[in-house]
Amino acid sequence: MNKKLFPAIAFGLLGALLAVGAVSACSSSAAEAPDKSRYDVQVEELLAKMTLDEKIGQLNQLTGVGCAPDRLEEIRNGAVGSILNEIDPDTVNALQREAVENSRLGIPLIIARDVIHGFKTIFPIPLGQAATWNPAIVEEGARIAADEASSVGVRWTFSPMVDVSRDARWGRIAESFGEDPHLASVLGVAMVKGYQGEDLAKPNTMAACVKHFVGYGASEAGKDYNTTWIPEPHLRDVYLPPFKACADAGAATFMCSFNDINGMPTNADRHLLRDILRDEWGWDGLMCSDWSSIQQMIPQGYSPDLKHAAEAAANAGVDMDMQGFAYIAHLKELVQEGKVSEKTIDGLVRNVLRTKFRLGLFDNPYVDIPTSRRFFAPASLEAARKAAEESAVLLKNANSILPLRDNLKIAVTGPLMDAKHDQNGTWVFDLEKDSTVTVLEAMREMYGPDRIIAAPGLSFSREKNPAAVAAAVAKARQADVILFVCGEEAVLSGEAHCRTDLTLPGGQKDMLRQLRATGKPVVSVVMTGRPMEINDIVENSDAILYVFHPGTMGGPAIANLISGKVNPSGHLPVCLPRASAQQPLYYSHKNTGRPAEGITYIDDIPLEAGQTSTGCTSFYLDAGDGALYPFGFGLSYTDFSYGPVVLSADRMGADGTLTASCEIENTGKLKGATVAQLYVRDLVGTLCRPVKELKGFEKITLEPGEKRTVTFTLRASDLAYHLADNTLAVEPGDFRLWIAPDSASGDPKEFAVD
């Protein structure tokens, strides 16, 4: 291979996005980036009138305490720019009135809230939404969330989280779009568009907050808030692309992450926050800290005190201090001492004011009380059900046991069968749990109460209660088939909820073994917030539906899938491991010099076997290699055949394109959907390249017997990656390309870049 790099395919600004976002046949078109100059005049006029105290006040975000007199006074004095966690529209209006009518300059507040996968109508957790591989569903969910939350005055949500997440121990994987930068980019953009709409100034929108900038998903050992070690080219290839895609789509705000990268807390990282985000990308939105993350640079070992933390964050470019009290306490003094310039403060304030103008808050600060509290519209519930249906991944269906015929007696059992709270997953601060329809309720509705035997057994996922299990198993014996709804409670994933054992908690494994021993067919629904180790479930179930916490309408969605009213179409946005200790596990790994070959398992090793007798390749003696179910995997009640890949050319120049097509046929008897996935491998690079990278995908629905050709256009620039000096380049050489229904199948086609 000619090692010479393509001369300054100096993609710079554009290139980082091209590297991830260009190919998807179904990527949603990016929302129009806000007109950068539109509010400059108003911002400058206002800024010119502000005292230093008022400027610093705009940078201060506090959590809600209602209309407490002290709070009203702070607002009146211009000492608060934003309030999070107020969700009562009358309170919001009262606070806003104080800001708009009683403070000197009348600058409105932005009211913020973590609306992560729905406000009242809860959609599947983001990891489940990623399993739909359907940006339209993600966008619609965000639009509904914005409509509901803005109806009480929340105009800023701390979502989407686009942290590429490759470690299932990390509880926050639940909030992510999974392990792949391309999938996270496409879905992150869809969510931004859904929240912000065509015009952010409309009162039924919310400003998106793309978080956590950046690298948080790499938290060492899958432990929350932990350090990360990420060389910059890797940061640019894997962790930054979804942020870049969202910035280009007009995301109004970003949030700094809690982690340090290579020892530097992101809240103090000028290179990230200024050189890359502002100068390279040209983004002019609002960067907020995470909850108290400026203050947390003290325990992190970076700042000796709060004053230093405030100085570091302001100079690095964190515009707003979330509940950290660092800016309000120290910025004035820091300006007086010359450690932070007033010019720097003005820059931070401009970003805050610009965001308020973009949101239309100066024209329209108040909630319209008569139309407030717009929750649970029938169309929203339908959309939530459809999202839950498309998020479920069928992993196994021995003897086509699913869909279940309607003349069977079905025992519904397991700790998540009737879990109004837990079925909604993490980050549902505003949940009204009685609105949740559970699996048990929906199965009764679907099959008729006489056909359903409710056999509760364990009442929550961690419970170990042999007597309750025995009672449930006895009841299940009376049925023709058992539906075991197992998994993890909501509280076992999400922020600060990490696990090292990724198997079913509590007495569930034992319960499943006993259910299996009844001799009845077992269908397991695994409801969870992360990729779990499911060997026991595979062994003891005829069929498995893997459902990330599915939200309000999870029950009807699952009943529709179990009964065959709807055909499963979800695909995994993460690998499911063979063993918990395989983490981090992801399909897009490097090959190593000794890829797995001739795997020897621990029980097959003879006594006193020689050191090298088990082979010297890259695998685990007790888990082999690779995923149990790979990224991208998902079955259907019908079958699809993928024809050979046809390329328009087998070579292209550095600025060239080629198309890759594949005819897909529904060879089964039911209508169904598959996700055609385009993967590429760069065989030799100046830096070692991953074994596969997702470059595009398209979800298509086919009638029985129907064939359709899916075509992806691949640009050479889509093959670019970052070299050790952080330049983005396409290297000439040989490549492989697949179009397949998952990351582990399909026959490669070769092509070259000249």
The two structure tokens encoding residue 121: 């109508």
> Least CB distance from residue 293 to ligand BGC, whole Å?
8
Spacing of C-alpha 379 from chain mean position: 24
Residue 170 binds to ligand BGC (criterion: CB under 6 A) = no
Measured from the CB atom, the residue of 112 and 340 that comes closer to ligand BGC is: 112
Angle at 507 between CA 457 and CA 122, to 5 degrees: 70
Write out the binding residues for ligand BGC, residues 105-134 only, by CB under 6 A: 114
DSSP 530: S
The two structure tokens encoding residue 171: 């509880």
> Least CB distance from residue 247 to ligand BGC, whole Å?
18
Write out the binding residues for ligand BGC, residues 436-495 only, by CB under 6 A: 495
Residue 211 binds to ligand BGC (criterion: CB under 6 A) = yes
How far apart, in whole angstroms, are the C-alpha atoms of residue 5 and residue 654? 10
| Cα distances (Å, whole numbers) of residue 33 to 254, 283, 436 | 15, 10, 36
Measured from the CB atom, the residue of 160 and 414 that comes closer to ligand BGC is: 160
Measured from the CB atom, the residue of 208 and 628 that comes closer to ligand BGC is: 208
> Least CB distance from residue 208 to ligand BGC, whole Å?
12
Q: Indicate the pairing of strand 481-487 with strand 522-528.
A: parallel
Measured from the CB atom, the residue of 211 and 722 that comes closer to ligand BGC is: 211
- Single out the catalytic residue among 290, 319, 536, 742: 290
Angle at 123 between CA 122 and CA 124, to 5 degrees: 125
DSSP 620: B
> Least CB distance from residue 228 to ligand BGC, whole Å?
15
Measured from the CB atom, the residue of 256 and 334 that comes closer to ligand BGC is: 256
Q: Indicate the pairing of strand 657-666 with strand 640-642.
A: antiparallel
Prior bond to 521 cis, omega within 30?
no
Measured from the CB atom, the residue of 211 and 578 that comes closer to ligand BGC is: 211
How far apart, in whole angstroms, are the C-alpha atoms of residue 594 and residue 511? 41
Alpha-carbon dihedral 229, 234, 236, 242, rounded to 10 degrees: -90
Mind giving me the DSSP string for 667-723? -SSS-EEEEEEEEEEESS-SSPPBS-EEEEEEEEEE-TT-EEEEEEEEEGGGG-EE-
> Least CB distance from residue 122 to ligand BGC, whole Å?
17
> Least CB distance from residue 121 to ligand BGC, whole Å?
20
> Least CB distance from residue 157 to ligand BGC, whole Å?
9
* Cβ atoms 278, 317 nearer than 8 A: yes
604 is catalytic: no
Write out the binding residues for ligand BGC, residues 528-587 only, by CB under 6 A: none
User: Considering only CA atoms, which of 582, 570, 493 is closest in space to residue 166?
Assistant: 582
How far apart, in whole angstroms, are the C-alpha atoms of residue 273 and residue 277? 5
How far apart, in whole angstroms, are the C-alpha atoms of residue 509 and residue 513? 6
Measured from the CB atom, the residue of 119 and 291 that comes closer to ligand BGC is: 291
Measured from the CB atom, the residue of 497 and 520 that comes closer to ligand BGC is: 497
How far apart, in whole angstroms, are the C-alpha atoms of residue 730 and residue 173? 31
Q: Across 147-267, where does the E strand assignment appear?
A: 156-157, 209-213, 253-256, 260-261, 264-265
| Cα distances (Å, whole numbers) of residue 753 to 2, 630, 689 | 10, 28, 15
Q: Across 127-168, where does the E strand assignment appear?
A: 156-157
> Least CB distance from residue 622 to ligand BGC, whole Å?
35
Residue 640 binds to ligand BGC (criterion: CB under 6 A) = no
Angle at 526 between CA 522 and CA 528, to 5 degrees: 165
* Cβ atoms 162, 127 nearer than 8 A: no
Count the neighbouring beta carbons within 10 Å of the beta carbon of residue 102: 13
* Cβ atoms 523, 404 nearer than 8 A: yes
Angle at 695 between CA 690 and CA 701, to 5 degrees: 130
Mapped onto helix, strand or coil, the DSSP state of residue 535 is helix
User: Considering only CA atoms, which of 95, 94, 73 is closest in space to residue 83?
Assistant: 95
> Least CB distance from residue 184 to ligand BGC, whole Å?
16
Considering CB under 6 A, how many residues would be counted as binding ligand BGC? 6
How far apart, in whole angstroms, are the C-alpha atoms of residue 267 and residue 246? 20
> Least CB distance from residue 209 to ligand BGC, whole Å?
7
Q: Applying CB under 6 A, which of residues 291, 637, 679, 721 lies at the interface with ligand BGC?
A: 291
Measured from the CB atom, the residue of 74 and 290 that comes closer to ligand BGC is: 290
Give me the 68-107 binding string for ligand BGC, x by CB under 6 A, dash otherwise.
Answer: ----------------------------------------
Angle at 403 between CA 400 and CA 408, to 5 degrees: 105
Measured from the CB atom, the residue of 294 and 561 that comes closer to ligand BGC is: 294
> Least CB distance from residue 380 to ligand BGC, whole Å?
23
> Least CB distance from residue 289 to ligand BGC, whole Å?
9
Measured from the CB atom, the residue of 61 and 743 that comes closer to ligand BGC is: 61
How far apart, in whole angstroms, are the C-alpha atoms of residue 533 and residue 170? 14
Q: Indicate the pairing of strand 156-157 with strand 110-113.
A: parallel
Q: Applying CB under 6 A, which of residues 156, 158, 327, 548 lies at the interface with ligand BGC?
A: 158
Q: Applying CB under 6 A, which of residues 86, 147, 290, 693 lies at the interface with ligand BGC?
A: 290
How far apart, in whole angstroms, are the C-alpha atoms of residue 712 and residue 527? 34
Give me the 676-695 binding string for ligand BGC, x by CB under 6 A, dash otherwise.
Answer: --------------------
* Cβ atoms 578, 622 nearer than 8 A: no
Measured from the CB atom, the residue of 209 and 544 that comes closer to ligand BGC is: 209
Measured from the CB atom, the residue of 159 and 528 that comes closer to ligand BGC is: 159
Residue 438, sorted as left (phi over 0), alpha (psi -120 to 50) or beta, turns out to be beta
> Least CB distance from residue 220 to ligand BGC, whole Å?
17
The two structure tokens encoding residue 344: 């720097």
The two structure tokens encoding residue 475: 């009841």
| Residues with a known catalytic role | 290
Site residues (vs ligand BGC, CB under 6 A)? 114, 158, 211, 290-291, 495
